[in-house]
Structure 1
Amino acid sequence: METMFHTQTLLIIAAGAIATYLTRIGGYVFITRMKRIPPRAEAALNAVPAAVLTTLVAPAAVTGGLDVTLTMAVALLAGLRISLLPMLGVGWIVVMILRHVIG
Structure 2
Amino acid sequence: MTLEPSTLAAILAMMLATVFTRLFGAFLIGRMSLSTRTEKALKTVPPAVLMALVAPTALATGIAESVACGVTALAALRLPFLPAAGAGVLTVAGLRAVGL
User: Which TM-score band applies after superposition, normalised by the shorter structure?
Assistant: 0.5 to 0.7
Following the alignment from structure 2 to structure 1, what is the Cα–Cα distance between the partners of residues 20 and 47? 23
Amino acid at match of 1:45: L
Instruction: Confirm whether residue 58 of structure 1 aligns to residue 49 of structure 2.
Output: no
Using the TM superposition, give the Cα deviation of residue 43 of structure 1 relative to its aligned residue in structure 2, in angstroms: 2.5
1:28 — aligned with what? 26
Using the TM superposition, give the Cα deviation of residue 64 of structure 1 relative to its aligned residue in structure 2, in angstroms: 1.7
2:84 — aligned with what? none
Q: How many residues align?
A: 84
User: Higher relative CO (CA 8 A, sep ≥ 6), structure 1 or 2?
Assistant: 2
Compared with structure 1, are the counterparts of its residues 28 and 5 closer, same or farther at alpha carbon in structure 2 (3 Å cutoff)? same
Deviations 1:65-87 (A, max 9, x none): 35654x369759xx5xxx98xxx
Compared with structure 1, are the counterparts of its residues 14 and 53 closer, same or farther at alpha carbon in structure 2 (3 Å cutoff)? closer
Q: Which of the two has higher C-alpha Rg?
A: 1
1:14 to 8, 12, 15: 12
Following the alignment from structure 2 to structure 1, what is the Cα–Cα distance between the partners of residues 44 and 65? 25
- Whether the 8 Å contact between 2:58 and 2:65 is mirrored in structure 1 is yes
Gaps of 5+ in 2: 80-86
Following the alignment from structure 1 to structure 2, what is the Cα–Cα distance between the partners of residues 38 and 44? 10
Compared with structure 1, are the counterparts of its residues 64 and 30 closer, same or farther at alpha carbon in structure 2 (3 Å cutoff)? same
1:38 — aligned with what? 35
Q: CA RMSD, aligned part only? A: 3.6
Compared with structure 1, are the counterparts of its residues 27 and 75 closer, same or farther at alpha carbon in structure 2 (3 Å cutoff)? closer
Identity %: 34
Give the 3-state SS of the residue equivalent to 1:27 in structure 2: helix
Q: TM-score, normalised by structure 1?
A: 0.55
